[in-house]
């Protein structure tokens, strides 16, 4: 195990280093990098869900003043084939989903490009499409693995037989909706060719991920592609994997004689081709003794993928680790539809995957006549039931007990529909969170001592609004044993040492580990009194503990729900979460991350839902007016706390990751509280007024 880092700067409530630049508008986002003589791209999207483009008539578009070029499947330059079907933009006449990019206009102004795109006429040969998601489809299939490389199914004992004879049983089907990521900054790419070198200013969660994808599509050596993203206005997963728009921008820029092409995806377009979360259907069976101890757990998941490219969300994976039982099963089956490719969104797997089991546990508590907190305490496993490994640390019990104390859980009436106050049914609920500690020993970092006696740390990480620049500066300062003011972290540029994507809540773990390794090498090679120009680079070492220990962050979430007795309208006046996430590097940005996650969970519980019109195959509520995301007015009181967890095995910093765990379990806590308020069990998200107006 690598030596733990002594915390000095870590733990300090440091303000976000780029805060001033952001609030004064001087922090450049992708669109804002100054480039000379830019041109503007506006795409044309398929208006059929399946078929073939037979003709593109661009005469009216090209006749407009200021239109430079119109790219179509019939005239677009070639790209590599067979690497990634999603990125093969304009490479064939096939239409795989409605909203697909089928043409693009490049013009002197954004307005001209948009107007011209409207004038492009596309003819199609339409084929029947199928976008109907259901667990009853006969063509459901088992993928080879689920994201990223988990086994599709797991099986132990005989869960059906054990369930059949269990003293207490819960069997139910739970569904989560289709969701679109909707970071505040739309996906944006500025592409500039200089001979055979390509520069992309891109709104991305991973500059090296984009570089690899684009270099692959254009069959370029990666050294000829540079991706720059110093500031990113959120990603929520949808900027973690490259999508077709950025390839399209680079493709169009091959036709502008060196002039940059700027492409900012509109909010409406973000509902078509930059990823989303699959809807999920989970059939859960929990069997337990009369004392509530689980004997059988099964979780059978059905979800969507695109027919033209597979993505399998790992929805059943958290159930494998959360609770133990002698008989267990998880399965994943996919419906391949004529839709865009689902991909990562805000805790893929864990987020939808903890809704079903954590509501089912609430139902089991009711069936056993147990308090839901007590039921969970009773089912704490000794080891990770999935891997059989001991947990590096599992402080769920502390989260539950501390959360119950802070929330005032002991004042809760044991039975539902017990409190009617001023015309509102009032109830409270609890659910658990977990999120894995993901690490891959591939990130590198450099440390250079500058003339101004500042240590410049370079790593191709990204700060997507999380505060990673600030946290990494604190880690670097501790690793070099200097003050944070003596360190400058440079990130967001593929010219810097290779880094993993800002995803899987793993940035601080992976990048921090690389920085610690580089700093220690710097001290070993250059000493404590270095000369300007001294430099060292290192890759994050593999952590041997990962094969001996199961590493996860945990949390407990408590919700208070009010339901209008006359209208069924649900409100969540209070959310309170307590998390065990290892060392918190920066309490200010960490609290913000956890609160943000919990607010997203509230949003999932009550508001978010992409509505697919099956007749046409597109999302109809494709803007923020009709796809509601929780606002401050919805999130009245959101409190996030953490316990003082010390886990030296995860990495030298002792960090576990905080980006996504806040969203995991929140929706279950809200649904459980809605049940406690009204006696009505809602198993389908979002929890809306119509569901709460039925008889309990």
Catalytic positions, please?
Answer: 660
Nearer to ligand MOS, 205 or 446 (CB): 205
Cβ-based neighbours of 196, under 8 Å, separated by 6 or more? 220, 224
**Residue 176 bridge partners (DSSP):** 280
- CA dist 687 and 605 (Å) reads 6
Tokens of 48: 């059929």
The strand pair at 424-436 and 420-421 is best described as antiparallel
Instruction: Tell me the closest approach of the beta carbon of residue 503 to ligand MOS, in angstroms.
Output: 3
The SS3 call for residue 381 is coil
Q: Which residue is nearest to ligand MOS (CB)?
A: 237
Which tokens go with 483? Answer: 């003050």
DSSP secondary structure string for all residues of 606-623: HT--PPEETTTTEES--S
Contact between residue 356 and residue 317 where contact means Cβ atoms under 8 Å apart: no
Nearest to 659 by CA among 540, 508, 546: 508
* Bridge partners (DSSP) listed for residue 306: 337
Give backbone dihedrals phi and psi of 152, rounded to 5 degrees, phi first.
-70, -45
In sequence order, the β-bridge partners of residue 642 are 579
Please work out, in degrees rounded to the nearest 5, the angle formed at the alpha carbon of residue 665 by the alpha carbons of 659 and 667: 110
Residues engaged in binding ligand MOS (CB under 6 A): 205, 237, 240, 344-346, 348, 503-504
Query: Closer CB to ligand MOS, residue 232 or residue 365?
Result: 232
The residue with tokens 């300062």 is 477
C-alpha 396/C-alpha 349 separation (Å) is: 19
Whole-angstrom distance, CA of residue 659 vs CA of residue 550:
19
The nearest distance, CB 572 to ligand MOS, in angstroms, is: 23
Name the DSSP class of 51: E
Residue whose CB is less far from ligand MOS, 237 or 352: 237
Min separation Cβ 624 and ligand MOS, Å? 19
* Structure tokens belonging to residue 162: 């054990």
In angstroms, what is the minimal distance from the CB of 22 to ligand MOS?
21
Q: How far is the CB of 217 from ligand MOS (least distance, A)?
A: 21
Q: Which is nearer to ligand MOS, 345 or 400 (CB)?
A: 345
State how far the alpha carbon of 491 is from the alpha carbons of 148, 523, 625, in Å.
25, 21, 35
Q: Which two tokens stand for residue 294?
A: 């689980």
Select 424 or 435, whichever has its Cβ closest to ligand MOS: 435
CB atoms within 10 A of CB 339: 29
Supply the minimum distance, in Å, between the C-beta of residue 592 and ligand MOS.
16
557-571 per-residue burial string, b: 16 or more CB within 10 A, e: under 16: bbbbbbbbbeebebe
Phi then psi for residue 209, to 5 deg, are -65, -45
Which is closer to ligand MOS, CB of 352 or CB of 617? 352
Shortest Å distance, C-beta 567 to ligand MOS: 34
Q: What is the DSSP letter of 277?
A: B
Query: The tokens of 65 are what?
Result: 């003043």
Residue closer to ligand MOS (CB basis): 179 or 558: 179
The neighbouring-strand residues paired with 558 are 430, 576
Min dist CB 243 to ligand MOS, Å, is: 13
Cβ proximity to ligand MOS: between 345 and 480 the closer is 345
Give the residue with the Cβ less far from ligand MOS, 503 or 582.
503
The verdict on whether omega for the bond into residue 335 sits within 30 degrees of 0, i.e. cis, is: no
| Smallest distance, ligand MOS to C-beta of residue 348, A | 5
Q: SS in 3 state form for 530-584?
A: CCCCCEEEEECCCCHHHHCCECEEEEEEEEEEEEECCCCCEEEEEEEEEEECECC
């Amino acid at each position: 195990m690598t030596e733990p880092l002594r915390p000095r700067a870590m733990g300090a409530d440091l303000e976000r280093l780029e805060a001033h630049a952001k609030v004064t508008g001087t922090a450049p986002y992708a669109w804002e990098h100054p480039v000379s003589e830019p041109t503007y791209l506006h795409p044309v999207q398929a208006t059929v869900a399946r078929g073939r483009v037979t003709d593109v008539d661009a005469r009216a578009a090209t006749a407009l003043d200021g239109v430079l070029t119109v790219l179509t499947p019939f005239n677009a330059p070639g790209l590599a084939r067979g690497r990634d079907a999603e990125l093969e933009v304009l490479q064939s006449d096939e239409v795989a989903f409605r909203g697909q990019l089928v043409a693009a206009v490049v013009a002197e102004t954004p307005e001209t490009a948009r107007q011209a795109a409207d004038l492009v006429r596309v003819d199609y040969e339409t084929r029947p499409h199928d976008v109907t998601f259901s667990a009853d489809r006969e063509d459901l299939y088992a993928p080879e693995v689920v994201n990223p490389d988990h086994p599709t199914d797991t099986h132990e004992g005989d869960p059906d037989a054990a369930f059949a004879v269990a003293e207490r049983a819960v069997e139910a089907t739970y569904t989560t909706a289709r969701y679109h990521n909707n970071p505040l900054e739309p996906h944006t790419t500025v592409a500039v060719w200089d001979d055979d070198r390509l520069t992309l200013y891109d709104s991305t969660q991973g500059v090296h991920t984009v570089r690899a994808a684009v270099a692959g599509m254009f069959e370029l050596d990666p050294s000829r592609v540079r991706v720059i993203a110093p500031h990113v206005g959120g990603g929520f997963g949808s900027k973690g994997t490259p999508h077709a728009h950025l390839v399209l921008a680079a493709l169009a820029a091959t036709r502008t004689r060196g002039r940059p092409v700027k492409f900012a995806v509109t909010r409406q377009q973000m509902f078509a081709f930059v990823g989303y979360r699959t809807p999920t259907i989970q059939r859960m069976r929990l069997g337990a003794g009369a004392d509530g101890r689980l004997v059988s757990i099964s979780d059978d998941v059905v979800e969507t993928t695109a027919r033209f490219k597979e993505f399998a969300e790992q929805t059943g994976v958290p159930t494998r680790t959360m609770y133990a039982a002698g008989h267990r099963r998880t399965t994943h089956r996919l419906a391949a539809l004529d839709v865009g490719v689902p991909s990562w969104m805000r805790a893929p797997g864990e987020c939808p995957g903890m809704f079903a089991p954590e509501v089912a546990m609430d139902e089991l508590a009711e069936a056993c006549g147990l308090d839901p907190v007590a039921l969970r305490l009773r089912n704490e496993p000794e080891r990770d039931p999935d891997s059989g490994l001991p947990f590096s640390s599992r402080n769920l019990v502390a989260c539950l007990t501390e959360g119950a104390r802070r929330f005032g859980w002991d004042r809760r009436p044991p039975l539902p529909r017990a409190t009617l106050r001023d015309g509102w049914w009032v109830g409270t609920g609890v659910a658990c969170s977990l999120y894995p500690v993901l690490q891959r020993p591939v990130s590198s970092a450099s440390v250079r001592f500058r003339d101004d006696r500042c240590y410049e740390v370079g790593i191709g990480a990204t700060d997507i609004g999380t505060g990673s620049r600030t946290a990494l500066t604190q880690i670097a300062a501790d690793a070099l044993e200097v003050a944070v003011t003596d360190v400058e972290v440079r990130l967001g540029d593929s010219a810097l040492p290779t880094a993993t994507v800002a995803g899987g809540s793993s940035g601080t773990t992976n990048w921090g580990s690389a920085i610690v390794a580089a700093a220690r090498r710097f001290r070993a090679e250059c000493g404590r009194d270095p000369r300007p120009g001294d430099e060292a680079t290192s890759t994050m070492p593999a952590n041997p503990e990962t094969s001996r220990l199961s590493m996860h962050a945990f949390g407990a979430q408590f919700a208070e729900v009010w339901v209008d007795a006359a209208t069924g309208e649900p409100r969540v006046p209070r959310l309170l979460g307590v998390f065990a996430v290892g060392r918190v590097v920066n309490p200010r940005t960490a609290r913000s991350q956890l609160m943000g996650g919990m607010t997203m969970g509230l949003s999932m519980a009550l508001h978010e839902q992409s509505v697919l019109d099956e007749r046409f195959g597109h999302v109809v509520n494709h803007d923020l007016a009709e796809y509601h995301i929780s606002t401050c007015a919805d999130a009245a009181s959101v409190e996030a706390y953490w316990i003082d967890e010390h886990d030296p095995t995860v990495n030298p910093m002792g960090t576990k990751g905080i980006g996504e765990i806040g969203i995991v379990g929140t929706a279950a806590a809200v649904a459980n509280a809605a049940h406690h308020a009204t006696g009505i069990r809602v198993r389908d998200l979002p929890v809306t007024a119509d569901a709460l107006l039925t008889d309990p």
